[in-house]
A and B are shown apart, each in its own frame.
Chain A
Amino acid sequence: MASVTLTAITKRFGTTQVLHGISLEVRDGEFLTLLGPSGCGKTTLLRIIAGIEQADSGSVAIGGREVSHLRPRDRDIAMVFQSYALYPYMTVAQNIALPLEMRRLSPLGRAPLIGRVLPGTAAIRRAIDAEVRAVAEGLGLGGLLGRRPAQLSGGQRQRVALARAMVRRPAAFLMDEPLSNLDARLRGDARAEIAALHRSLGATVIYVTHDQAEAMTMSDRVAVLEDGRLLQLATPRALYDDPASLAVARFVGSPRMSLLAAEIRSDGAVTVAGRATGLGVDAPAGRVLLGMRAEGLALARGEGLAATVRLVEQLGPEALVHLAMDAAEETVIMRLAPDRAAELAPGERCSVMVIPERAFVFGPGGQRIAARAARQGAVAHG
């Protein structure tokens, strides 16, 4: 297992700049996810690490060794593709064995007929078969070794792809959205399997996905990318509680963060529609955005911000209330206890308040402005 270091990676396709100088380090044994919307460059970055794509500038180092000019086979990495890329005309056993065959047998030893009779190859092949069997059985594929990929289910194919990567014991595993082709229920199981595998192998894993739930539940750290730029590299908890920018805050967490138009008063207090929110910042007066997740809003007892109920979603343990507010362009979502939410009807007017400790302040450029919370206003409901 090894660390992976990227330094100022840039990449252009034609006239489009896909990566704008990405630098990050994946620690030894870490599970790092590259997270971002489609087209943000995460898959390109992964392919550059693998060596199947060449960066225009910048360098890649694996285990402290500079690998930017090495072929993929020499970088000691293994990749699981989104489509699994299994060889359709080979059996499961042959699929898993191929990387070992290519490494350990000479070209003559690999030849179709001669290779079988060459002295020494029989022993190597037996060793390869044993390793293949061990890895396959570890993933529950023991009975499927003689089948072809077309005879397997989606989940089984995914495990074969994993087995083919694992059998090499590489310095790092690269995974390109391996769960996106599975149906929702299988995805949950496979997620747990991959996470367990990571723990038992202690392997360095670089994982690409656009699904923020996957990223949040499986990773040690997450690198959020957008338009070829690294927005933030932090633990899932830190991304959720301490987003560095509006883009990160909106991408991470479900339901999406709600935004209110706010202002900074001359004394540093943050106000919405003229009403103080209980937040103060050390920044010049001006217009800002106030962001909060569903648990950052509450019904105000007494005076608050005017809102109209659009929809009440009862989710069982909690309810989400969709509100239309003057201070917000989009629908604002508020979390509420189910029985309290049951008293609200669509079209009803109510007043809400912002819970200052759970609110985030973002400047006009999307950058996060640090804020202090001071207790003010009515006590929260919900």
Chain B
Amino acid sequence: MAEGSLLAAPTVRAATPRAAQARAEAWAAWLLVLPATVLLWLMLLGPVVAVLALSFTDWTFGAPTIAWVGLENYREMAEDRVFWTTLANTVVYVGLSVPISVGLGLGVALLIEAGTSGVSFYRAAFFLPVVATLLGMALVWEFMFHPTVGLINQTLTALGIPVRNWLKDPATALYALMAIGVWQAVGLNMVLFLAGLKAIPRDLYEAAAIDGADGAWERFRRVTWPMLGPALVFVVTITAIRSFQIFDTVQVITDGGPEKSTSVLLYLIYQEGFQFLRSAYAAALTVVFLAFTLAIILTKVVLLDRRAHYG
């Protein structure tokens, strides 16, 4: 009977040695990734999910109860004139400061790359704004923008150009802040473009010279500009994200005014969330902010990455 049972019901091995090894490897892999994954969820994905969830509630900071309200916050946002003005300001700010700071950064990098003397000085001079504390520099800029004793208006008056109260005039305040933002961004863009320019092989320029493309414009068009493709995509993305995050200058100089003309998205989030303590509404605004940032990155990945890289 023992033989019969042995022959009749053979036990199947749980797994072949190879499958067991593969499973052990998978376990080890997950274990090794665990710390980073935990941190990722704790610091990044978790808060995003929490903010998303919060935006569907009515919680204010310190309130004892929290209730689900669905899309109420978003509806309030859509009907809020301040929100649309803020969004428009932010888009205008990003839309103008990105091309200007990228263009200026490229121009400065080209000049420094072609320069023969004083190169180190210029490089340091242009990079200083990047490492300077924006808060401190914002105060200095505020003094410079002063309508009567500020350096800017004094210089313009001396040149005979009509002046305005740049920071107090709703029509010009945002552009004044843009000037400060561009001033700070040019240095970083310059450094990134310098790295990109150095990576261009010198013999491409020599081959182009032999082929007949030896003028400044032709060299730029045929060699420099195409070879800077990857660097350009990177710089535009970084600049766009950074300028989208504008906050310090608004907080220190204009407080969102005059007449909400310098109210930008991140500042609005700060106001609603930490000044008015309307946490749920601020969360909804944050979701909009995240959506825009994601859109910028997706645009870069889908549209630009493929075109800029060859092969």
Interface residues of A (CB under 8 A from B): 50-52, 71-73, 77-79, 81, 83, 85-90, 98-99, 102-103, 148-151, 164
Contact = CB atoms under 8 A, between A and B. Distances in A.
B258 interface: no
Contacts of B6: none
Contacts of A149: 310-311
Interface string B209-247: 111111000100011001101000000000000000000
B78 interface: no
A329 to B, nearest CB: 42
B207 interface: yes
A68 B311 CA distance: 39
Contacts of A90: 226
A98 B310 contact: no
A98 B211 contact: yes
B79 interface: no
Given A87-B204, A89-B227, A148 B311 contact: yes
Q: Is the interface of B mostly helix, strand, loop or mixed?
A: helix
A102 B212 contact: yes
A38 B98 CA distance: 48
Contact of B203 (A51, A81, A89): A81
Contacts of A50: 206, 210
Contacts of B207: 79, 81, 85-87
A64 to B, nearest CB: 21
A281 B83 CA distance: 103
B231 to A, nearest CB: 13
B148 to A, nearest CB: 49
Contacts of B203: 81, 83, 85
B154 to A, nearest CB: 44
Contacts, number: 69
A71 B213 CA distance: 11
Contacts of A103: 212
B211 A73 contact: yes
Interface in B166-214: 201, 203-204, 206-214
A73 B214 contact: yes
Nearest to A74: B212
A83 B212 CA distance: 19
Contacts of A89: 226-227, 229, 310
Interface residues of B, number: 20
Contacts of B213: 98, 102
A93 to B, nearest CB: 14
Contact of B214 (A71, A78, A164): A71
Please provide the 5 A-B residue pairs with the shortest distance between their CB atoms, ordered closest to farther.
A150-B311, A102-B212, A85-B207, A99-B211, A89-B226
25 contacts: A72-B206, A72-B210, A73-B211, A77-B210, A79-B207, A83-B201, A85-B201, A85-B204, A85-B207, A87-B204, A87-B207, A87-B208, A87-B222, A88-B310, A88-B311, A89-B226, A89-B229, A90-B226, A99-B211, A102-B212, A102-B213, A102-B218, A148-B310, A148-B311, A151-B311
Contacts of A73: 209-212, 214
Contacts of B226: 87, 89-90
B180 to A, nearest CB: 36
A37 to B, nearest CB: 22
A50 B203 CA distance: 13
B206 to A, nearest CB: 5
Contacts of A78: 210
Given A102-B211, A149-B311, 4 more contacts: A79-B207, A81-B206, A98-B222, A102-B218
A71 B209 contact: yes
A52 B210 contact: yes
B21 to A, nearest CB: 38
A51 B212 CA distance: 12
B212 A99 contact: yes
A150 B310 contact: yes
Contacts of B204: 85, 87
B206 A52 contact: yes
A77 B203 CA distance: 16
